[in-house]
Amino acid sequence: MGGLVPGHSYAAQAQTAPAFEPLPAKAGYAKEINAFGEADAKQMPPAGAVLFIGSSSVRFWTTLAQDFPEIPVINRGFGGSQISDSTKYADRIAIPYKPKMIIMFAGTNDLAAGKKPKQVLQEYKDFVDTIHKALPDTRIVFLSVSPTVARWKNEANVLEANHLIQEFTFQTNSPTEKLSFLDTHSDLLTPDGLPQPKLLRKDGLHFNADGYKVLVSLVKPRILALADMDGVERLPTAPAPPAPVP
């Protein structure tokens, strides 16, 4: 669930889970959202953590806690989802956690469903508005939509959506509306400007283990710097190995 060190209570920011009311089975993503609610009822994540939210790229990020052992993290990715789905369920899988920072990694499914880049931008604005109405001090970070083999024909729309969201971020970010944009798109391409199959699963769409390693190398320094700036509490680090006896 999160990057919490075993045996560390994190009591200063512990919180009680809200009453769990299951979604009806016919509701979109009911199985996934209800599973998150059941997990919260058993152990509510601490307030002040860093929440990763979005589609399969977040859901498949199973090494998230190991990749960010320095900070408490929460994974709330659900496969196939679009940005509007995260907005729809923000009152269940975002706002109750009171995170200091939210990392959104989504948008590719929106474009694949036929939405235009301007529509993706508007859906992201709606997400930002929803979060900041409830949590005005929470920073929202958008990870750029990644290039993939499977959806390479949509690359022009990917570039445009990234540009629009980056532009919105730079124009809107302020001490009272904290927004950031992390652009990894170009760094995930080959020198010839093509997607890298070696970083993707056989489906040509989702990152494999090597892909996540590259992604982490690109975003971790920035995320940790933002986390420190926003006061995310660092977790205890593992003790250093003893020095060799001379």
The angle that helices 117-134 and 155-172 make with each other, rounded to 10 degrees, is 40
Q: What is the pTM of this model?
A: 0.91
For residue 97, the one-letter residue type is Y
Mean pLDDT value across residues 152-166: 98
Q: Is residue 36 in a domain? A: no
Condensed to tens digits (0 to 9), the pLDDT of residues 48-85 reads 999 999 999 999 999 999 999 999 999 999 999 999 99
For residue 246, name the pLDDT band (cuts at 50, 70, 90). Answer: low
Domain annotation covers residue 12: no
pLDDT above 90 (res 244) = no
Check whether 102 has a pLDDT greater than 60. yes
According to the model, what pLDDT value does residue 16 have?
A: 87
Helices (H), 94-243: 108-112, 117-134, 155-172, 209-229
Residue 1 lies in a domain: no
Residue-wise pLDDT for 76-97, tens only, equals 999 999 999 999 999 999 999 9
Q: Are strands 139-143 and 179-182 parallel, antiparallel or unpaired?
A: parallel
Give the pairing of strands 73-77 and 50-54.
parallel
What lies within 8 Å, CB to CB, of 209 at 6+ separation is 63
Q: What is the pLDDT of residue 237?
A: 73
Q: Are 163 and 107 in contact (CB under 8 A)?
A: no
pLDDT at 8: 36
Which pLDDT belongs to residue 113? 97
Q: Name the CA dihedral angle for 132, 138, 139, 140, rounded to a multiple of 10 degrees.
A: -50
52: CB partners within 8 A, 6+ apart: 58, 61, 64, 73, 74, 75, 76, 77, 102, 103, 105
Note the pLDDT tens digit of each residue in 3-17: 443 333 354 477 888
216, 67 Cβ separation under 8 angstroms: yes
Range of the domain at 169: 44-229
Report how far residue 200's alpha carbon sits from residue 154's, in angstroms, rounded to the nearest whole number: 17
Q: Kindly state whether residue 237 falls inside one of the protein's structural domains.
A: no
23 domain residue, yes or no: no
pLDDT number for residue 2? 46
Rounded CA-CA distance 233/9 in Å is: 13
Q: Please list, in sequence order, all residues whose beta carbon lies within 8 angstroms of the beta carbon of residue 34, skipping any fewer than 6 positions away.
A: 22, 23
Tens digit of pLDDT for each residue in 188-241?
A: 999 999 999 999 999 999 999 999 999 999 999 999 999 999 999 999 875 555
Domain count, the chain: 1
CATH, residue 87: 3.40.50.1110
How far are the Cα atoms of 57, 137, 158, 165 from residue 153, in angstroms, in the given order?
19, 38, 10, 20
H helix intervals, the chain: 30-42, 56-59, 64-67, 83-88, 90-93, 108-112, 117-134, 155-172, 209-229
**Average pLDDT for the chain:** 92
Task: Say what the pLDDT of residue 1 is.
Answer: 44
Establish if 205 belongs to a structural domain: yes
Predicted confidence at residue 245, as pLDDT, reads 63
